[in-house]
Structure 1
């Protein structure tokens, strides 16, 4: 009833998942940077999340940790699990998981991944997901996992349809206030959950990302920004107040993470240009 990827790329660890199931993000993922990324699904055993995190934290190899967890579970034949640790990745699909069910895992110089799904339209779903993982090498992990999730959905995804999705990615020092969260997004009930999670991710990246592609506030651009701020009710008080007015407007719009003393962030400028006159 679900397709997912658990992965690591450098110091970033994450899980992306979609399903015809209510609030899949409340059941499937666990991400502990430096230790584990786990996706527990099918007839999900939520206890696997704690068990595998503990085993990997204690230094057990990924394959052995997963094998031990499944062997100790009387319902193991009905489970599906993907797990990534410091030494690689593994994916398990119990023989009683509903057709089509299967997975792929691996490691290379771009990271480690475990991709799995059950009640899928066919093996082409996990194949497309693995192809997307490789094609997105070099991108930030949250972007990379989102590309994988959308590729799986476009290849057929859950045979029963769409309902929920989640994207959880952590990396030390990343995200809002350096708290270590690149993405923590859930769509619990939506007819096109994968694309809704992509929309939320675009907003999350905008609001919680930091300044990039900064353009100096000089010449015609300075005058354009002055006029746009005036339309928003933040008219600069003088020639030297454009920066002050811009910072005040950005604070009202929750864009303060993208403030730069050297000019205006390209995405902030895009939002300012698109904003209706106040």
Structure 2
């Protein structure tokens, strides 16, 4: 009841998984990844031990193919399983047991493994693979585009319910304390991929660093807009001076958790201002 894609970005050293399923909370079952080691998607009567076992094997130096052979060979129900994985070098492997419900299958290509079961047909997996190869952007954006393309090509024959995106990179997590660079889940939604893409853009707004060309001085039209929005949002009283304006902006940024986009006094990230306008 699931389709997924596992991907690797050799430049940024990121590993990730995007997945959708007619299943509650698929993000709690399918994706496993560790920076510098690899990524795993385990599904179709998922054996959740596949994730940590494959990661351990790959951390010990096994390739994705070698790890796949080891984790499946002694599983008495392996023919009901489906799994895709990438190792530290981005080498892919995928497995679909003969007992998986049709349509079921997978494909691999440069730095990706795509797989799915109980799909409308093979076009879902093909669309994911082709989209991953042809799409520009970050690993997260390529994975999401691939997942969306898979849904558009047919997707899970039973429908949609949940989706997840996990991307890891060394010290990529909040504060640099772990490798969970992006870890987002939509557990129950009529259009989970659309919702996952929406919250991904929010995640980028909150935690991605400001772009230099989007930082502006608080003057002229920018200042007029900022004053108007802060007054509307009740952070500032009309007619107050620059000192109160800067205090109000700081209060807004800290309340809304935009510390990652906070600028030196007298400047603002225009993406924050645009967000204000939409509230």
TM-score by length of 1: 0.91
Asked if the contact 1:30–1:37 (Cα under 8 Å) also holds between the matched residues in 2, the reply is yes
After TM superposition, give the deviation of residue 241 of structure 1 in Å.
Answer: 4.5
Pick aligned residue for 1:271 from 252, 271, 275: 275
Pick aligned residue for 2:145 from 122, 144, 147: 147
Aligned to 1:220: 221
Asked if the contact 1:12–1:169 (Cα under 8 Å) also holds between the matched residues in 2, the reply is yes
Q: Any residues of structure 2 matched to 1:121-200 within 5 Å, and which?
A: 121-137=120-136, 139-179=137-177, 180-200=179-199
Pick aligned residue for 2:75 from 64, 73, 76: 73
Q: Any residues of structure 2 matched to 1:225-236 within 5 Å, and which?
A: 225-235=226-236
The 2-side partners of 1:124 and 1:232 are apart by: 48
2:51 equivalent to 1:49 = yes
> What per-residue deviation string (whole Å, max 9, x for no partner) do you get for residues 131-186 of structure 1?
2111223x122222111111111111101111111111112233532344332111
Asked if the contact 1:29–1:37 (Cα under 8 Å) also holds between the matched residues in 2, the reply is yes
2:25 equivalent to 1:37 = no
TM-score by length of 2: 0.91
2:214 equivalent to 1:210 = no
Aligned to 1:201: 200
Q: CA RMSD in A?
A: 1.7
Q: Helix, strand or coil: the match of 2:159?
A: coil
Asked if the contact 1:2–1:118 (Cα under 8 Å) also holds between the matched residues in 2, the reply is yes
> What per-residue deviation string (whole Å, max 9, x for no partner) do you get for residues 103-138 of structure 1?
11122xxxx11110011111110111112111223x
Gaps spanning 5+ residues in structure 1: where? none
Aligned to 1:9: 9
> What per-residue deviation string (whole Å, max 9, x for no partner) do you get for residues 176-214 of structure 1?
323443321112222222112222222222222222221
Q: Would you say how many aligned residue pairs link Structure 1 and Structure 2?
A: 270
Aligned to 1:260: 263
